[in-house]
Each structure stands twice: as structure tokens, then as C-alpha cells.
Structure 1
Amino acid sequence: MSKYEDYNSASRNYDNQRFAMGSDVMAAMIQFHCGKPLKDLHVLDAGCGTGNYAKALIDYGVGQVTLLDASPGMLEKAKVKLADAIESGKIKEVVEATMPPIPFPDASFDAVMFNLVLHHLDATGSGNFIKATQTLKEAVRILRPEGTVIISTCLPSTYTHAVWCAQLSMTLTERFNKIMPSVEQLDEMFEVCQLRCVQKMNILGSALVLHHIDTESSTEFPSVTHTLKEARRVTVSGGVILITTCLPTTISGDMWMTQLNMELSARFNRYNPSVEQFEKLFMAANISCVQKMNILGSSISKEYFNFEGPLDEAWRKTSSYWQLATETELEDIKRKITELKSKGELEKWARDHDNSDTAGVLTMFVCECK
């Protein structure tokens, strides 16, 4: 049961506002990491609410889903929504219970989902997340070998900087953020529970080389548009086009090395389409973007946190970013790094100016051919 929200009351209008954001990614991740076809999987939707995610997974082909929630009002809505799935046996059980514990035998499930749930279990604002940690331990216990835990949440950094309504009252937002685990706190919880996090991503919304195709900076990207049209031409109907890129907003605000010289970053950004520009490119190419996400972390580069890397020409040559730097800019960057290092402040400055763990470096677009 949520420690601060009355979900029996909220259940009356919940589905007017909510949908299963990112459920396609979750289904793919569960199938990939469990190593089984979706039809052979049994998933626990822990804190299922009105069953939006359970319905989405069943629609994608998951064999069985068990529903668990502490709110009878939410479960009644879920039963109506999933009546056909209950009758067919695709919904195996509907259980009313408060976590922790999770009332199932060991090794019962291939996957356990917590969708915007964990922050409801501890509402003290102390940062300890004791019940959330206990619940994750229970998830480990009820998982089968090679099982997967999927967690969706909103990070404090997201609320503070990316959600418009959260910026109407920063006092309220700061209070709310105290009950939301950060990436670092989640990592600590995973370690305690002996869970290995294999992927982190931000789902965005309301090919790595595409920015190299237009050699002149502009806002039109004609060669990218032509290339996407060609990709559409050679892709079967209903096929998928995957695009990875670095967005201008990421380059400007979330990567430590790009903040060493903002003039260089501004110049580089003119070669990188924004989300809005990509959407226009997709429309022109007659392809439909069905998912956008940021991959959290800095694993795009093995030596991303080599803070003296910009001093090394071989290090710089691994990124096209540096190829646009003038000699004057390079000298300015080298001087800044050398000064920070001499003061013993280089690592702190870089980490203070880096948001790759919470905002990500790489953005992925998943597109369907119409």
C-alpha cells in the first residue's frame, strides 16, 4: 500500500491519465534477458494498478501474467480491463497484498515488474528505502534462474529539470524527490539485493553515423532525409529502423568534456538533429517513430572518464566532436584541463559537469515503416 497516496480513490480516474509507457521496451528486455520466447514467460506485475502494463505485455505475447496490488479499487479496475485474459488463463492470479513481503513461493516467475512502485513503499524521506530494498530481495527470491527484474521510476534529477509542472513549486518538488531513489541509491539497493543492473535508460517523450552524412551544418539535413528514405525503401512493410545519436541537448548539458568549450559544442550541435528535427525527418521519409529512449551511462566510450583524454590526440580521434575544434579552442581546452589538474580539481569539475548516469549520452529512436 502506498504510504502517501489513496489509490482506492485514485483508481476511479486513473486510466484517464495513465498509459503503459515503455511497455514495448520492457517486453523486449524481458524476452532477451530471460532467453525465452514471450509465450513461455510468466511475469509478476508487482503493484499492477489498473493493469495497464499487464494488458500491454499480454498484447505483445507474454504467456502469463500474475497481478499483485495492495489497492482493492485498483484491482477491480484491472479485473474489468483484463476480463478476457482472466477467462483465458493468461492472467494466472489476481492477488491483493501489501509489499513487502511478496506472497509467492521461491522460483515462481521468469520476470518481476515494478512500474512506478518502489517509491511508494518508504515515505519517510530518510533516503534509506528499507521496504523497497526488502521488496527487491523478495523479487530475487521468487525469480527463476536467469530471471529478470524490470523497474520503472522517475529520477529526482528528472523531476527537478525536465518536468514542467514540477517546476511550479520547487519546495514541493524537493519534498517529493526525497522519497524517490536516485540512480546511486538504486545501485546501492541492487548491490544489497545481489541484483546486477544490465541496462538503464530514459524513455523520451511527452544509426550512430547519421550526423556525419550532411557535411554542411544546417537545419534541413537533406542527405539524412534522403538516407532515411532509402532505408524505408529497402525495409519490408512493418519493418523496423533503429537510429542511435547524440542529441544537441545532451552535448550541451550532460557530457563533461563538451562543457570545456561551449563554442565548439555549439558548432558541433549544428551537425546533430534535435528531437524535433528528427520528427520532421521521419515524417518526410514516411516512417513512424514508435519509441525514443536515452541509454543511461557513458558506455558509448571505454575511456569516457579519462579526464586527461582531451590532451591526447589519439583519444580525441575516437570522437568526431574533436575534429571540429580549432587550434585555438584545443589550446584553451588543454590549458583549462592542466590548470584544473594542477589544483587537484579536475575530477571534481568533470563529475560536477557530467550527467551521463542520469540523462544518458546515447539516444535511440525505434521507427516502424508505414
Structure 2
Amino acid sequence: MFDMGVGRMALLDASADMLCVAREKFAVEIKANKVSAIAQTSLPKIPFDDGTFDAVLLNTVLHHLPSGSGRNFFHAVETLKEARRVLQPDGVIAITLLLDTSSTNAWFLNLSPEILDKICSVSPSAEEWNKMVFAAGLKCLLKTNLHGFGLLGDEDYIEYNNIFKQEWRNSIVMFEHTTKEEIEHVSQKVKSLHMKGEIKGWIKDHDKTQQFGFISLFLCQ
């Protein structure tokens, strides 16, 4: 991403595990002093001064925040306002977001109808997203869907002795809405498919991200 013109960046996450992953992935950039800060923090508060950044990236963040009573998505709206605050006047906010209708396209959410229903129930619809942007005082410059089976490969998520990689499991809100029985059912299903040598075929058959996309990308000001 630095070849695209990114000079220095700050990395924020609520999960210590995911920040450890970030330190590994950006080890070269950290050594080159291209990472100005690495902070564990919970949104909506962003711990920087007004107008600090040329760009803000909220990468698959907003749909993990509490939706609030009546699906008002208060925390997401406040996070968008904070992103606007720390942005310079001509800066851009890039947002990747899971909308409710896109959840059914991902193989790992199709492992359990019960879990899928829970994820859909807390993910905003396209109409709710438009209201969130308006409430935050932003306007959308671009919207597109990210496609590709490679975005959701099993190697990114699964350790077969513990189904989902622990750092991912610790960070994703999906597991806050599940029961132990549901997780155990999914774990056994994945382990069984793996032992039979069928996991990659099952994923390919149940993943629709290539045709219909999964995560939506928005550019806002």
C-alpha cells in the first residue's frame, strides 16, 4: 500500500491480538518509521487531534460496533463523526462494511444458519447505511462491492485443531452472538470436512463472493 502513496500511518484496533498481527504484517514499515502510532482503543473515540490525517480507513469495523436499540447504529455514526474530525478538509474516509444482504455470500457464515441469522440481524441494510452517512454529515463519493473467492480463503481463518484462528476469534463480534453449542457444531463440521479432504470443495461450493461480492467499499468526505 505504500507504493500507492501512503507515507506514514497510525494503526488502531480494540483487539490486542489483531494489533500483534498488524505488527507482524507491517514489520518492515515499522522499522522504516512509516508507522507513527499503534494503539489499542475502542471506538467511537479516535485518540488524535483535529485534522491529523489525509485519509482514514475504517476496515470492516462499523458492522462490529453495537447497533443499539431500534437499530440506530449510534456507535457507528459517532465513529464516522470522529473520522471526519481527525481528517483534513480535503481528506477522504475509506470504509469497508458488511451489509445485511451480503452476509449470505460468505462460506464461513454459511456453516451455521443460526449464526448467519444473528449476523444479518446486527448488520445494517443499504438504506440504514445511507442514513448513517447523512447523520454523520458525510457524503459518499463512491460505492462498490469487493469480489473474489481469494478474499475469504480458508487459510486466512482456519486452524483445524481450533477451527478459527484464535486472534481472529478473539476479535470478531460474530462470536459474541453465538452459543457454545453453535460454535461446537461449526467446529465439528469443519473438522469433519477437513478429515475427509472436502473442506476446500465445500468452501468453493458455498462461497458466493466471486459472483456477488461480500464487503462493500465506500469513499466518503
Shared fold (TM-score greater than 0.5)?
Answer: yes
Aligned equivalents of 1:171, 1:79: Cα separation in 2: 34
Report deviation, 1:85: 1.1
Report deviation, 1:293: 9.4
Aligned equivalents of 2:85, 2:75: Cα separation in 1: 15
Q: CA RMSD in A?
A: 2.4
Seen in structure 2, the aligned counterparts of structure 1 residues 163 and 94 have a Cα distance that, compared at 3 Å, is closer
Q: Which has the larger radius of gyration?
A: 1
Report deviation, 1:79: 1.9
**Cα deviation 1:7-28 (Å, max 9, x = unaligned):** xxxxxxxxxxxxxxxxxxxxxx
- In structure 2, runs of 5+ residues without a counterpart are 150-209, 217-221
Q: Indicate conservation of the 8 Å contact 2:9/2:36, yes or no.
A: yes
TM-score in terms of structure 1 length: 0.38
- 1:85 aligns with one of 4, 12, 29: 29
Seen in structure 2, the aligned counterparts of structure 1 residues 140 and 293 have a Cα distance that, compared at 3 Å, is farther
Report deviation, 1:131: 0.7
Q: Indicate conservation of the 8 Å contact 1:125/1:178, yes or no.
A: no
Aligned equivalents of 1:195, 1:181: Cα separation in 2: 17
**Residue of structure 1 equivalent to 2:15:** 71
**Cα deviation 1:208-248 (Å, max 9, x = unaligned):** xxxxxxxxxxxxxxxxxxxxxxxxxxxxxxxxxxxxxxxxx
**Residue of structure 2 equivalent to 1:227:** none
Structure 2 residue 96 is the aligned partner of structure 1 residue 172? no
Q: Which amino acid aligns with 2:79?
A: T
**Residue of structure 2 equivalent to 1:154:** 98
Structure 2 residue 42 is the aligned partner of structure 1 residue 95? no
* Aligned residue runs from structure 1 range 1-370, under 5 A: 57-122=1-66, 124=68, 126-160=70-104, 162-206=105-149
Q: Which amino acid aligns with 2:137?
A: Q
Q: Indicate conservation of the 8 Å contact 2:57/2:95, yes or no.
A: yes
Seen in structure 2, the aligned counterparts of structure 1 residues 85 and 156 have a Cα distance that, compared at 3 Å, is same
Q: Indicate conservation of the 8 Å contact 1:114/1:150, yes or no.
A: yes
Report deviation, 1:84: 2.4
Q: Which amino acid aligns with 2:124?
A: P
Report deviation, 1:294: 8.0
Q: Indicate conservation of the 8 Å contact 1:156/1:181, yes or no.
A: yes
Report deviation, 1:126: 4.1
Q: Indicate conservation of the 8 Å contact 2:68/2:74, yes or no.
A: no
Report deviation, 1:205: 1.3
Where 1:84 maps in the other structure, the secondary structure is helix
Where 2:71 maps in the other structure, the secondary structure is coil
**Cα deviation 1:104-142 (Å, max 9, x = unaligned):** 000001111111111122155741111111111101111
Q: Which amino acid aligns with 1:202?
A: N
| Count of aligned residue pairs for this structure pair | 154
Report deviation, 1:154: 2.0
Aligned equivalents of 2:17, 2:106: Cα separation in 1: 28
- Greater RCO structure (CA 8 Å; 6+ sep): 2
Q: Which amino acid aligns with 1:204?
A: H
- In structure 1, runs of 5+ residues without a counterpart are 1-56, 207-291, 296-357, 359-370
Aligned equivalents of 1:178, 1:112: Cα separation in 2: 27
Q: Indicate conservation of the 8 Å contact 2:55/2:92, yes or no.
A: yes
Aligned equivalents of 2:139, 2:124: Cα separation in 1: 17
**Cα deviation 1:139-164 (Å, max 9, x = unaligned):** 1111101111111122211123x334
% identical equivalent positions: 38
Q: Indicate conservation of the 8 Å contact 2:59/2:96, yes or no.
A: yes
TM-score in terms of structure 2 length: 0.62
Aligned equivalents of 1:75, 1:103: Cα separation in 2: 16
